[in-house]
Structure 1
Amino acid sequence: ELYAEGTFSDVTIHTNDTVLHCHRFILAAFSDYFRAMFTNGMAESQQRKIELRHVDGKTMTSIIDYFYGGSLKITSENVQNIAITSSMFNVSEIVDYCCTFLADSLSYTNCVQILIFAELYNFHPLTQIANNYILDYFEKCTGYDTFYEIPYPLLNKILPSERLAVKNELTVLNTLKKWVELDPSIRKDHLVGLLSHVRLAMIPVEQLIDFEEKETLLKESLPCFQMLLEAKNFHYLP
């Protein structure tokens, strides 16, 4: 009621399109950011107007509503904005809600996008959950085009993992091949390093020979060609 009617409001938050009439003690109770702002003894601690023009009004309204006892309606459309904004203002409780929502919504088609998001904003528990999901369902995830949006640093962490669940290492090799071919001008520079993570010697020699006959990109790289040759030779050892 205090919030809805603006009763005894002592501070206003101005976003890109919204003005919110709030109370310092409520903001400080939920947000370390606002607590620090109001108690730092600087001039801003006495300001009655907080300019947050870079913040989306609808997102900030949802967060402030939660502060005043309202329900937080998280959806697939707003979860990332709410998580980012809550993190910006050090509202860890809401960040945790958002990360749990995203973890529960992981699928073969969105796991890479969630991993990228979590890594970008340093949501470490969510990063680990999304990473493990990809490792556990690698063969399923790589069946969708969305997987191949994964950037090199994240792929470079996934391929060498002992947890990577594949029935045949040829799946990993074909995945790497497709990933490079989607943007060869940039990704081929990472080919040698990524190929070193593939356990080529575990691929049946017939499949290696068949792969090599059809493949041109790997054979253009001498180090890659040598790795394929060594893997084939491994099968002929006495």
Structure 2
Amino acid sequence: MDDQSDSQKWQQHLSLLRSQYVNLYTTNTELRYKYEIATANDNESGFIERLLTIVASLYRQKRYSDLTIKLNNGNVPAHKFILSARSDYWNAAALADVFELDWSDLDGDIGLILLKWIYTSIVDKENLTLEFMKAASSFQLKELVEQCETYLIGTVSLKDCVALYTAAEGLGAEKLREHCGALMSTHWDDLTGNDFKEMPGALLYQLLKTKSKYPLHSAVRLEREDVVFLYLVEHNAEVSN
């Protein structure tokens, strides 16, 4: 009973720490934005602040618009120079003779939330999801990807650490991958085959080789025949002997 009580206390403590981390993250993001403006050259700071204000005011406005973005719930006016300033993905060559961008494949409100950040640098923390991070990565929005990564590190749990590890590997989000990997190592015996069912065989095999003393036994425990096959292929000579 005491063990269960202690466990609940630790869970509550971790939940509190996670909440504090998220609040600190939000404050840090806002302060960093203000700091970048404040540390600009005195002669330029007024211009930069005014420019950022004007850019933010153009969000979803037709004024000066030379581009339309097609979302899954309607069209939104946009501005080539703002997109180009945010990412090389939208450089001059990429947007030459282009008058519409099709973002209708983005789920839900991701496209609109993404566009709001491009113009204002503002995104609510509850929108910093894995899918949002993937969309940001597809447009090479490195700053936003790092923002999502930092937030997700503070909110990841055992329940979603495997999915986040897999995604982080594909996105090249090294800090998130390492954090999820450490969490899996700590709770390795609590994870089951069901937790890893969506992880590609090759990635899981590499993970088992770093996290488990006996990769083959772990692959069998997780009921992953594809990983067992990869092990046998790699150790073909040993098996033959």
Q: Do the aligned residues in 2 keep the contact of 1:109 with 1:144 (CA within 8 Å)? A: no
Compute the displacement of 1:95 (Å). 0.8
What SS does structure 1 have at the residue aligned with 2:101? strand
Compute the displacement of 1:187 (Å). 4.6
Instruction: Give the number of aligned pairs.
Output: 183
| 1:131-210 matched pairs, under 5 angstroms | 131-140=181-190, 142=191, 145-147=194-196, 149-161=198-210, 164=211, 175-180=218-223, 183-184=224-225, 186-190=226-230, 192=232
Number of the residue aligned with 1:6: 62
Compute the displacement of 1:130 (Å). 2.0
| 1:1-238 matched pairs, under 5 angstroms | 1-34=57-90, 36=91, 39-40=92-93, 44-56=95-107, 58-69=109-120, 71-75=122-126, 79-140=129-190, 142=191, 145-147=194-196, 149-161=198-210, 164=211, 175-180=218-223, 183-184=224-225, 186-190=226-230, 192=232, 223=239
TM-score by length of 1: 0.62
The alignment yields a C-alpha RMSD, in angstroms, of 3.3
What SS does structure 2 have at the residue aligned with 1:54? coil
The structure-2 alpha-carbon separation of the partners of 1:84 and 1:150, relative to structure 1 and needing over 3 Å to count, comes to: closer
Kindly provide the amino acid, as one letter, of the partner of residue 2 in structure 1.
Answer: L
Kindly provide the amino acid, as one letter, of the partner of residue 208 in structure 2.
Answer: L
The structure-2 alpha-carbon separation of the partners of 1:8 and 1:57, relative to structure 1 and needing over 3 Å to count, comes to: farther
Specify every segment of 5 or more residues in structure 1 that has no aligned partner in the other structure, as ranges: 197-221, 227-238
- Identity %, equivalent residues: 21
Q: Do the aligned residues in 1 keep the contact of 2:161 with 2:180 (CA within 8 Å)? A: yes
Compute the displacement of 1:46 (Å). 3.6
Q: Do the aligned residues in 1 keep the contact of 2:71 with 2:112 (CA within 8 Å)? A: no
Specify every segment of 5 or more residues in structure 2 that has no aligned partner in the other structure, as ranges: 1-56
Query: Over residues 82-101 of structure 1, what are the superposed CA-to-partner deviations in whole Å (9 max), with x where a residue is unaligned?
Result: 11211111111111111222
